[in-house]
Structure 1
């Protein structure tokens, strides 16, 4: 369905003037061998920003400046809205920035922005990974909170989807964004609006103009498709496709992890993007090695789930062998009486045979 001023669906609001926009932070590009097959390259690029399912993302709210109670509660509610879709990720608020993967500021002089997916792990614990630059208690503000959290979950801007087929009146776009309320330089406008993602970075082949990751646009900026010349309405909630894709990447956790014993090889019979989880319960305290075998690209993350009888989920260590000829390896000291969960997500299996995993 066309999303125009006259045909805006329920929950979407037409826009007449250029609104304030999110300024997504640059995404880190992995250094990959130039001779990777297109299928292998695409699997890595699509999956690299996503978390392993079952990750507990801890967030810290900087309660200063404009971070008063109503703004903090709006962010908390946005996290609940994503969780209530029924996903396997969890979100926990903590009271120290050093404990948090996601650190959220409320500097209204710095706009709204977020780093994307696992890139937040590369940011110093002294710095924000997300900021909100305007009131989150309005309808547009609520959608902003959902949008920025979407970036943290690994999703890019939807209007930069190469399958959207958008032809911009580029100089009008630059002019609109150069003025208030955004006041963006040309390079920022290009990075956040005009730059199209590579088809190898995008999952699926459908553009979703209702996505919470879509910008609203006023009339006059889009030349094609013709039905969007009158603008794109403001998506105010998670779309059906938003929910489909986040559930696809982070399905609800139902099965218990299979127990992985020393010197026991377990097969990773997975499709691209699939994940298997394993429980490791050491019978002695010592150094262990955990590794994959076979021609595969995986990210492997070890969590500590039980310490002295207290259940918790705490990141321990990880390895990512995507694009490499070698396999993922962890060398760690594990403790008797503690329970660990190893979550392994497959980017791609690119050679003969099936991949496997072992602890020894």
Structure 2
């Protein structure tokens, strides 16, 4: 279901869909790894997650993804409800494009009539669940791991831009979702983790050293560690 892009020389490769776009209205041992925005951390307590999906299979996969995160967020509890009224509002509205989520408490800035997260329907349950895990990570305040300032990815920047702009993604969006490195004291930055669910997959051809990253489908130990740190119980 990933779009296919074309580079010079008629080389085709799959690209992950860009995400984390809210509506216009609004590697060693067990080292902890990851990237999160602490200013968008939810306060300790109960978060209501409203699920408005068109089939029970998709809903079950989303609930399972939420449960996997919930095992690692000691300070948070999640109350899952049907419908469109919640702190986090998940939709698969076919009129909305791509997978995306508001980052953490940015969800509070989204009008109550609109979802804070969108998941495109997929027949592939494994990929759909992985997308749900990724987007719910954003909903908890986690950022893209391939944009971790400590990453060792040797991007072929021209190839990244050419691949995505050929699929009609604006260059500014490609930069913000792939290449931009966030900075600031508000960031919780830990060791780069290529196994993170928050990491895009990409082919060898978009790197200068021919080292791509495959699709991750479950939380890594680094994902679990950083979210436990972000949502540790108050002392």
Q: Deviations over 1:291-315 (max 9, x none)?
A: xxxxxxxxxxxxxxxxxxxxxxxxx
Q: Is the alpha carbon distance of 1:86 and 1:188 closer, same or farther for their aligned partners in structure 2, counting shifts above 3 Å?
A: closer
The residue that corresponds to 1:10 in the other structure is: none
Q: Which has the higher helix share?
A: 2
Q: CA shift at 1:59, angstroms?
A: 1.4
Q: TM-score, normalised by structure 2?
A: 0.80
Q: CA deviation at 1:134?
A: 3.6
Q: Which has the larger radius of gyration?
A: 1
Q: Which runs of 5+ in 1 are unaligned?
A: 1-15, 27-44, 254-274, 277-360
Q: Alignment partner for residue 62 of structure 1, among 52, 56, 60?
A: 52
Which residue in 1 is equivalent to 2:27? Answer: none
SS in 2 for 1:146: helix
Query: Which residue does the alignment assign to 1:51?
Result: 42
Q: Could you list the runs of 4 or more consecutive aligned residues of structure 1 that deviate by over 6 angstroms after TM superposition?
A: none
Gaps of 5+ in 2: 1-11, 23-35
TM-score, normalised with respect to structure 1? 0.54
SS at match of 2:204: coil
| RMSD value, Cα | 2.2
CA separation in 1, counterparts of 2:157 and 2:61? 34
1 or 2, which has the higher strand percentage?
1
Task: Give the alignment of 1:135-284 within 5 angstroms.
Answer: 135=122, 137-180=124-167, 183-198=168-183, 200-223=185-208, 226=209, 229-251=210-232, 275-276=234-235
Q: Deviations over 1:245-293 (max 9, x none)?
A: 1111223x5xxxxxxxxxxxxxxxxxxxxx45xxxxxxxxxxxxxxxxx
Distance (whole Å) between structure 2 residues aligned to residue 201 and residue 222 of structure 1: 29
Residues 114 and 152 in structure 1, CA contact (< 8 A), matched pair in contact too: yes
Give secondary structure in 2 for the equivalent of 1:56. Answer: strand
Measure how far apart 1:200 and its partner are.
Answer: 3.5
